[in-house]
Amino acid sequence: MKSYVFVFTHASFGHPHGREGLDMAFLLASYDQKVQLLYLEDGVCQLMPNQQAKLVETKNHLATLQAWSIYDVAHCYACQTSLQQRGLTTAGLAFEGLEVINDVQIQNVLANADHVMVF
């Protein structure tokens, strides 16, 4: 079994990176591959609740993201530094089970993956 880390670095709207990355991650997870999600930089903004996708005429993929555990995704991580830089806390994020990790832990997650895909 290969291991994949999907790194999300873009905010929710303006481009389809987040949704496309989730689709690919869930597809691989459905084939019993080890999949981990990592949100850093502006990607942590994808984790915020109450996003108004209709205002920018796009679909909100937060409901899809909240299903990560159903797809047997091994872990869902958020970068502690990125959250702090944007004034976000885990209490204000959209779902349970999210693990906040520091820069050293992020390096370990990435180093132990067979494949890293950035969106």
pLDDT of residue 107: 99
Q: In this predicted model, what pLDDT tens digit does every residue of 22-50 receive, in sequence order?
A: 999 999 999 999 999 999 999 998 887 76
Map 44-60 to HEC letters: HHHHCCCCCHHHHCCCC
- Domains, the chain, in order of start with CATH, read 3-118 (3.40.1260.10)
| Residue 106 confidence class, pLDDT cut points 50, 70, 90 | very high
What is the C-alpha to C-alpha distance for residues 13 and 61, in angstroms, rounded to an integer? 10
Which residues have CB under 8 Å from 97's CB, separation 6+? Answer: 68, 69, 76
The predicted pLDDT at position 76 comes to 93
What pLDDT does residue 17 have? Answer: 81
